[in-house]
Chain A
Amino acid sequence: MTDLSPHTQDQALLDTLRNDKQMLGILLLHFPVLAFIIPIGYGTMNFALTASLLVSLIAAAGYWFLRGTRACSALFAICLMLSSAIMIQTQLGRLEMHFHIFAALALLTIYRDWLPIVVAAATIAVHHVLLTLLQLGTASLGDMPIMVYNYGCNWGITFIHAAFVVFESAILVFFALRMGAERAQAYRMISIVQAFSSKQDLTGRLPGNTPTAVAFNDMLERFCQLIARLRDLSKQLGDNAEQLAQVSSNTEEIVEQQQQQMERAATATNEMSDSVQNVSCHAQGASEAAVSATEGADQGRQRMDEAVQLTEETNRILGQALGAVTELENKVSSIAQLSDQINDISDQTNLLALNAAIEAARAGDSGRGFAVVADEVRTLSTRTRNFTDQIRQTTGELRSVSDGAISAIKNGQQRSADTTGAVAHTQQVIVQVQEAIRAVSDMNTQIASACEEQAATSAEINRGIHQVVDRNVDIVSESGRLNTMARGLDESIEQLEQMIGGYRTA
């Protein structure tokens, strides 16, 4: 029984103690029977009383000091056999009293041990052999005769009795051993079950291949398999829960990002809505501006027409100016010719004055008065020359001025022509601009209406986004719940694992 747990050893001890107690009870119950009932009609009460009292005392002492040990069971076995002996002796060797031996031997199977049975058989055998010897020797000890059997006493009878005792003892030992083995198995079973319940140890197995052991071991094996399966499942479940938690937190993360993006999108669509509104307004403004630009362009064209007229007028005036200047130049040229003629007259005058002076000088004093006139004439011619020079110079200047004026006028005419071209071109451009503006205006109108539509769509989108955002909140909360659930699952799995984790199955 050394392979049993302490608890089971306790159980075994408890069982032995209970057996001892019961056996003591049986032995003590023998006392009144032996002392007061058996002697009736035989007058041997003193002996029976004394002897059974002594046996009871020994049994009590044995229980007091040795209970729970095999020694106690052996002692009780001897006591039972002594009770048998007392019984036989009290009824002076009556045959029926011998039955007690067999009953008492059977009682000893309570211990499920061979030892008390063998001890009892040995005790009664020794006792009988001894008493047979005494009876055959007709030994009378004291006043009391010795009687093993109250009829003929011989070794043959002793041998028959011994054979029966051996036979019964053998059977009882066989039963006791079998019951002992069954009890040991029961203890092992209890030990295994206790190991299971206290230490969650499922590694214990019953030895042998009895149907009980096989069935029990099979049950344990199945239990182990069940736990192993449970463990696997729990692991799988744990993995799944982890994945679930992972997925849930990923979802949460994604949804959060999405939420942020959606919020941004919502803001963006709001902004876009505003922008579209602005664009629409601006397009409206632009359209209006284009209309006023068209008006401006029309005015510009009128102004251009006026400018063309003005230019043409200027051209005409410039032509007149050119004629006047040309005429002036012609007059200046005639002045120059006149001035040259005056210059020639002046030169000849000077030459004549000089000749008069010479002649006056020759005439002496008569001539002096002439000489003074000659000199005056020369001075006058000189001064004329100076004047004509100045005129020539002035006409020259005039010519150059009029030439400049002509060239300026021509330049002006050219410019004017250029201006006319430019204006015409400008007019053309203005027309193009007007067309462009009209196109722009049309486009702006289209833009404005498109913007309106876009604004409506954008508002729609915004609403949609808000709905998505709202749903996202739901998703986040659902995902949170999922996470909680996964965590709960985790906890459950942890509990499960704690529960099954402790089981030693191999």
Chain B
Amino acid sequence: MNKKIALILFPLTFLLGLALPFLPAWTDRDDYYGIAVDNPVPPLELADSQIDNGLRVLFFGYRNCGTVCPAQIVNLVQLQQRLRGHPVEFVFITLDPERDSEEVLQRAASVFGPSFKVVRPESTLLAQNLALAYGDTAARVQSATGYEFDHTANLYVVTTGWRKRLIYTQPVLDLDRMESDLQKLLQTI
């Protein structure tokens, strides 16, 4: 009896373990490609914002990042092009205010496009806290050549009312689906 039960329970648990990564796909069956949430987030000071009622796609990164950041920035740039005319802004928040000066950031923003905004917290610590408030983590890691950040590098879609609505956790994105996510979300606000 017990052996039979064990023979059933153990494989079942094993299967559950295997299924865990796939479970969200089943539990969060909404129409969005990204992870749909609705949480308040701390507002950012965006001096040159041009939208009153729309969406902002946020990304925490740093200029010296050689791995995930460029990929995400490419994603953002492409999205910007796709969503031209829509009330959507793209915000790059630097995690490394020590090396990313305001000038450098502004220059980059102007290169990426008109709806590309930058935020530079006053210190790395403030930047990390801000990232954490959005659900993003950023750990400063010392390396032989200087220092790097181990960071989440998610994309967060927030409303102009500072509510977090969508999360994209991978740098490899299906931009079509993300675009349609944003279109759809725009209609709801």
Assess the B27–A46 pair: CB atoms within 8 A: yes
Question: Which residues in A have their C-beta under 8 angstroms from that of B1?
Answer: 65
Assess the A142–B25 pair: CB atoms within 8 A: yes
Q: Does B68 contact A (CB under 8 A)?
A: yes
Q: Does A78 contact B (CB under 8 A)?
A: yes
Assess the A75–B137 pair: CB atoms within 8 A: no
Residue of A41, A95, A147 with highest tally of chain B CB at under 10 A: A41
Shortest Cβ gap from B19 to chain A (Å): 9
Residue of A93, A94, A145 with highest tally of chain B CB at under 10 A: A145
Assess the B135–A141 pair: CB atoms within 8 A: no
Binds B, one of A48-56, A162-170, A459-467: A48-56
Assess the A55–B25 pair: CB atoms within 8 A: no
Question: Which residues in B have their C-beta under 8 angstroms from that of A138?
Answer: 170-172
Given the complex of chains A and B, what is the CA–CA distance between A66 and B10 in angstroms? Answer: 11
Residues of chain B from 57 to 78 with CB closer than 8 A to chain A in the complex: 67-68
Shortest Cβ gap from A369 to chain B (Å): 207
Q: Does B13 contact A (CB under 8 A)?
A: yes
Shortest Cβ gap from B154 to chain A (Å): 7
- Bitwise, A101-132 to B at CB < 8 A (1) or not (0) is 00000000000000000000001001100110
Question: Which residues in A have their C-beta under 8 angstroms from that of B32?
Answer: 143
Residues of chain B from 18 to 52 with CB closer than 8 A to chain A in the complex: 18, 20-30, 32-39
Question: Which residues in B have their C-beta under 8 angstroms from that of A127?
Answer: 17, 20
Assess the B170–A150 pair: CB atoms within 8 A: no
Closest B residue, CB atoms, query A41: B39
Assess the A141–B25 pair: CB atoms within 8 A: yes
Assess the A145–B6 pair: CB atoms within 8 A: no
Binds A, one of B79-87, B102-110, B111-119, B145-153: B145-153
Residues of chain A from 135 to 151 with CB closer than 8 A to chain B in the complex: 138, 140-147, 150-151
Given the complex of chains A and B, what is the CA–CA distance between A81 and B16 in angstroms? Answer: 11
Question: Which residues in A have their C-beta under 8 angstroms from that of B14?
Answer: 78
Assess the B6–A71 pair: CB atoms within 8 A: yes
Q: Does A279 contact B (CB under 8 A)?
A: no
Assess the B9–A62 pair: CB atoms within 8 A: yes
Shortest Cβ gap from A448 to chain B (Å): 118
Closest B residue, CB atoms, query A92: B169
Assess the A82–B20 pair: CB atoms within 8 A: yes
Given the complex of chains A and B, what is the CA–CA distance between A145 and B32 in angstroms? Answer: 13
Residue of B5, B9, B33, B172 with highest tally of chain A CB at under 10 A: B9
* A51/B20 contact (C-beta < 8 A), A43-B38, A78-B13, A150-B154 known: yes
Assess the A85–B38 pair: CB atoms within 8 A: no
Shortest Cβ gap from A37 to chain B (Å): 14
Question: Which residues in B have their C-beta under 8 angstroms from that of A234?
Answer: none
Given the complex of chains A and B, what is the CA–CA distance between A413 and B180 in angstroms? Answer: 207
Option from A44, A66, A82, A89 in Cβ contact (under 8 Å) with B6? A66
Assess the B169–A75 pair: CB atoms within 8 A: no
Question: Which residues in B have their C-beta under 8 angstroms from that of A152?
Answer: 67-68, 150-151
Shortest Cβ gap from A142 to chain B (Å): 2
- Bitwise, A71-102 to B at CB < 8 A (1) or not (0) is 10011001101100110010111110000000
Q: Does A69 contact B (CB under 8 A)?
A: yes
Shortest Cβ gap from A499 to chain B (Å): 45
Q: Does B167 contact A (CB under 8 A)?
A: yes
Option from B17, B21, B151 in Cβ contact (under 8 Å) with A134? B21
Shortest Cβ gap from A47 to chain B (Å): 4
Assess the A144–B25 pair: CB atoms within 8 A: yes
Given the complex of chains A and B, what is the CA–CA distance between A49 and B26 in angstroms? Answer: 12
Shortest Cβ gap from A94 to chain B (Å): 6
Closest B residue, CB atoms, query A124: B17
Option from B9, B22, B150, B152 in Cβ contact (under 8 Å) with A141? B22
Given the complex of chains A and B, what is the CA–CA distance between A61 and B152 in angstroms? Answer: 37
* A65/B20 contact (C-beta < 8 A), A44-B35, A92-B152, A151-B150 known: no
Shortest Cβ gap from A105 to chain B (Å): 16
Question: Which residues in B have their C-beta under 8 angstroms from that of A92?
Answer: 35, 135, 152, 154, 167, 169
Q: Does B175 contact A (CB under 8 A)?
A: no
Q: Does A363 contact B (CB under 8 A)?
A: no
Residue of B14, B29, B153, B169 with highest tally of chain A CB at under 10 A: B169
Assess the B135–A82 pair: CB atoms within 8 A: no
Assess the B9–A66 pair: CB atoms within 8 A: yes
Q: Does B139 contact A (CB under 8 A)?
A: yes
Assess the B28–A47 pair: CB atoms within 8 A: yes
Question: Which residues in A have their C-beta under 8 angstroms from that of B168?
Answer: 145
Q: Does B12 contact A (CB under 8 A)?
A: yes
Shortest Cβ gap from A157 to chain B (Å): 8
Q: Does B188 contact A (CB under 8 A)?
A: no
* A143/B21 contact (C-beta < 8 A), A66-B6, A69-B2 known: no
Closest 8 CB pairs of A and B: A142-B25, A43-B37, A144-B24, A151-B150, A46-B27, A65-B5, A145-B169, A150-B152
A-B contacts, 20 listed (Cβ < 8 Å): A43-B39, A51-B27, A54-B16, A55-B16, A61-B9, A65-B2, A69-B6, A82-B17, A85-B17, A89-B20, A134-B21, A140-B170, A142-B22, A144-B28, A144-B35, A145-B169, A145-B170, A151-B149, A152-B67, A152-B151
Give the A-binding residues of B (Cβ under 8 A).
1-2, 5-6, 9-10, 12-14, 16-18, 20-30, 32-39, 67-68, 135-139, 149-154, 164, 167-172
Known: A74-B10, A143-B28. 11 other contacts (CB 8 A): A44-B35, A78-B10, A86-B20, A89-B24, A92-B35, A94-B137, A95-B139, A141-B21, A143-B29, A145-B168, A145-B169
